[in-house]
Structure 1
Amino acid sequence: MDDLQLLREMRRDIGSPSPATLARGRTKLMTRINSTSASVASTDRDTKGTVSPIRFRRRVLLASAAAALLVGGIVVADVVRPSGPGATAEAAEVLNNAAAATIQTSDPVVGPGQYLKIETTELTGSGLQAADGSDISWQETTGGQVYVPAEENGEWVWNRDERVPLDSSSDAAKAAAAELAQRRKAQPEGAPLLVGILRAPGGAFYGNEPTIIIGTPLKDAISLPRDPQALLDIIYERTKGAGKSPERAAFVTIADGLRNGVVPADLRAALYKAAALIPGVTVGDRQATIDGRTGIAIGIPSPDGIARTDIVIDPTSGLVIGEQDILLKDYPGFPAGTVSTWTSVKTSVVNAAP
C-alpha cells in the first residue's frame, strides 16, 4: 500500500563480517529502530515478482484518520499511568521553558489567499531483498512541502519529493533505489501517487483526515484539555498496548503532535508540559543539530536500550526543529551516537501553492 498508511518504530559476531552479513544487519537494525519508535514499515508493490522492497519510514507529517476511527468514542477510564516522578529535572525544566516560550511566540498569521507552508526533510533507511535472498540496504533523503490554506477546510496541497540515496551508498544500493523509483513512476492508473503534487480538501490526503493526536482530528483540537496531566491521561488511554512501553508510546504521540506544524500555541505548550510528566524522558544533547539548525534534544530510550527517540526544540522560540533516532549501543558500521534517522520541520507563510 502507500507510504501514508499508518496506524508512529545487535550485538555482534567476532571478526570481519561479509558485505552480505553487514547488509542484513543494517536492514535488521533499521527495522528495530523504526519499530521501537512507532514507525511504520511500508512496501512498494512488487510488479515484477523479482525483489521484495522494504521501506522504513519515519512517522509522516499528518497522522492517519484510520487510527482515529479505531479509537473514536473512547471514554478515558482505567488509565494506565506509569509510576515514577516523570522526566528528569533537567528535561522537565527544558520542556516547561519551551512551553513558556511557545506561548510568547506568536503563531504565524495566514491571511486570506495565503498558505502556511510546512516543509520537511528526512534522512531515512531503506532496503530490499533480492530473489536470491541477499539484502541491500542504504540511507536516503526525501522531503515534501504541505501548503495549508488560511481556511483549513479548503484545499491543501502536498508536494512529495523523490527519494535520493546518499552519495556514500554503494553502486548496488543506488541501482536498487533507481529501480524502486522507476516502479513508483510506473504504477497503474488510479494507484496512490507517491511522488508529486497531491490535493485534498481539509488535508484528507489518501482519505486520511489530519489529526492532532490519535482520536482527535485537527478540526477538533479545541476539545483537547490544556491541563497537562489530563492531556497525558488521554494519550495513555489512546495508546494503551501500543509500542514497547506506555511511556515511549505516549512520548512518540506527543512528538508527532508537536511536529505537524498546525498545533495552536496553547496546545503545544500543554503537550510540552505533558511530556515533562513522562517517566524516562531525559535531555539527550543540548547542541543537537538537524539539517543545519541547532537545539536541545529531549528523548526517551527504547526499553532494550538500543536507541533513543528525540524531539529537538529551539529553546528561544519553543518550536520543534525536528526529530531524530540515535543509537545508544555500538553496531557494526554504526557506532553508538550515530543518528540513524532524522526529520527537520520548517514553517513559513507564503502567498501561493503549487
Structure 2
Amino acid sequence: MDELTRVRELRADAPTPDRARLAPGRTRLLEAARADERHRALWRRRQFVIVGGVVAAVTAVAVTVSLLLGGSGGDRKVQPATTPGVHLKGVSASDLLNRLADEVEKQPDAAVPTAKQWIYTKTIEEPVKDPKADQYKNLPKGALKLMTGPQESWLRYDGTAQAGWNLDTKGEKLKLQVTEMHLENGAEGDDRSPREMYRTLAALPSTAEGTLKALREQNAIADDKGASQSRNDYAEITVLLRADVMPAKALASLYRALATVPGGKLTDHLVDTGAGRRAIALTYDRAGSTPNGSAMREQWLIDPQTYRVFGMRLLDGNKIATGSITVSTSVVNAPGDRG
C-alpha cells in the first residue's frame, strides 16, 4: 500500500475537524495531563482527528508573539538558554508569579473582539517533527505540511464557527474548511466560547484570595473529592490560563492565585523551546507516573518579555513527551486572515 492511499483511507474515516484539530496539539497533552479529570471539565477538550496516522497534539494559551521556527524531532531534552537581564537563580515560583502579576497588571488591554470577529492562532508542536524523516518521505506536499509544519486555526469570538486547513479529497492540497459550532450557553461538559471565557476572566477579583473564592464558587471544574484543595485550585486556574483572550488584570489575578498553590518549581535559567524561543519554565508535578515509573510534570512556558504564557508541555522525567508553542495569535475579520 502506498502512502497516498493510506492517507486517503484514514482521512475518509476521520470526523469533521473540530477545535482540537484546528488548534492542533491541544488534546493529546491535555488528555495525558488530565486523564483522571477529563470527565469533570466544564471547558472540556474536544476530540482530536487522526490524519495520515499522525495525532494532533495540544494548543497552549495564545499570546501575540512572533517566533523563529526551528528545532528537531525525537526525544529532545529540555535545554538551558540564557538571555541578558533575566535573573531566575534563587527565585521561588511563588515570588516569580507575584512579581509577574504586578508587571502584567500594568499592561494595557487590546480592544475586545466583536461577536463576528475571529481569533487566529498559529502553533507548533513539540517535539518538532522532522519533515525529512522516513515515515513522511512518500507523502504528498499537502499532507506533509499538515502533519509536520506549523498549524493554523480560526475560532469565531461568539463560538458559532471554527475554521482550519484540511486535505482535499485527493490528499494532496490544503483547503480552508469552516465548521459551524454552538459553544455559548451550553450544558455542563460543553466548551465555552472565547466571549464567555473573557466575561468570566474580566469578573475575577484582583487578589489571590478573592480569585480562589470566586473559582471555588463557580466550580467550573468539578472538584476531585480525592484530591487536595490546592490540586483542585490548580485545575481551575490552569483551565483559565488557556483562554483565547485574556485581560491583563485577569492574568494578574490568576498568577496571584497560582502563587498560593504549593509544588511549583521554577527553572533557574531560561529554557529553549522547539519553536526557537526562550522561555521562563514553571513546572508542576501531576498525579501518577508513566508505565516506566518516571514522574510526569506539566511545564508552563512564559515569555520573559511580555510575561504571558505562550506554551505548555508535558515532561516525562527530563524529556518532552508532548506540547505546543503558540507562534502567533491575532484578532481578524474572517477565517483565512492572519492579521
State if a TM-score over 0.5 links the two structures: yes
Deviation at 1:219, TM superposition (A): 3.4
Aligned to 2:163: 159
> CA separation in 2, counterparts of 1:250 and 1:58?
22
Unmatched segments (≥5 aa) in structure 2: 1-14, 21-25, 39-43, 63-89, 129-146, 290-294
Task: Considering fraction of residues, name the structure with more strand.
Answer: 1
**Equivalent residue runs for 1:1-354 within 5 Å:** 4=19, 33=33, 35=35, 42=47, 57-58=57-58, 90-109=92-111, 116-123=119-126, 143-146=151-154, 152-153=157-158, 158-161=162-165, 196-198=177-179, 208-210=191-193, 217-236=197-216, 238=219, 239=221, 240-241=223-224, 246-284=229-267, 286-290=269-273, 291-304=275-288, 306-328=295-317, 337-345=318-326, 346-350=328-332, 353-354=335-336
> CA separation in 2, counterparts of 1:315 and 1:160?
30
> CA separation in 1, counterparts of 2:123 and 2:30?
20
Q: Larger relative CO (CA 8 A, sep 6+): 1 or 2?
A: 2
Amino acid at match of 1:102: V
Alpha-carbon distance change, 224 to 293 in structure 1, aligned in 2, over 3 angstroms:
same
Tell whether the 8 Å contact from 1:284 to 1:297 is kept in structure 2 after alignment: yes
Deviation at 1:326, TM superposition (A): 1.1
Deviation at 1:224, TM superposition (A): 2.9
> CA separation in 2, counterparts of 1:58 and 1:248?
22
Alpha-carbon distance change, 281 to 236 in structure 1, aligned in 2, over 3 angstroms:
farther
> CA separation in 1, counterparts of 2:238 and 2:325?
13
Deviation at 1:100, TM superposition (A): 2.0
Tell whether the 8 Å contact from 1:203 to 1:209 is kept in structure 2 after alignment: yes
> CA separation in 1, counterparts of 2:61 and 2:226?
19
Identity of counterpart residues, as a percentage? 20
Q: Secondary structure at the match of 1:104?
A: coil
Amino acid at match of 1:143: Q
Amino acid at match of 1:312: L
Give CA-to-partner distance per residue, 1:45-82, whole Å, 9 cap, x none: 9xxxxxxx9968536779xxxxxxxxxxxxxxxxxxxx
Give CA-to-partner distance per residue, 1:146-199, whole Å, 9 cap, x none: 355xxx54x77633345xxxxxxxxxxxxxxxxxx899x9xxxxxxxxx83335
Amino acid at match of 2:152: G
Alpha-carbon distance change, 35 to 142 in structure 1, aligned in 2, over 3 angstroms:
farther
> CA separation in 2, counterparts of 1:265 and 1:107?
6
Amino acid at match of 1:160: G
> CA separation in 2, counterparts of 1:146 and 1:208?
16
Tell whether the 8 Å contact from 1:37 to 1:243 is kept in structure 2 after alignment: no
Alpha-carbon distance change, 118 to 43 in structure 1, aligned in 2, over 3 angstroms:
closer
TM-score under structure 2 length normalisation: 0.55
> CA separation in 2, counterparts of 1:116 and 1:42?
20
Alpha-carbon distance change, 4 to 285 in structure 1, aligned in 2, over 3 angstroms:
farther
Q: Secondary structure at the match of 1:262?
A: coil
Amino acid at match of 2:325: S
> CA separation in 2, counterparts of 1:98 and 1:124?
28
Q: Secondary structure at the match of 1:118?
A: strand
> CA separation in 2, counterparts of 1:41 and 1:114?
22
> CA separation in 2, counterparts of 1:222 and 1:36?
29
Give the RMSD, CA atoms, in angstroms: 5.0
> CA separation in 2, counterparts of 1:204 and 1:143?
28
Tell whether the 8 Å contact from 2:282 to 2:299 is kept in structure 1 after alignment: yes
Alpha-carbon distance change, 59 to 36 in structure 1, aligned in 2, over 3 angstroms:
farther
Would you say how many aligned residue pairs link Structure 1 and Structure 2?
A: 251
Amino acid at match of 1:348: S
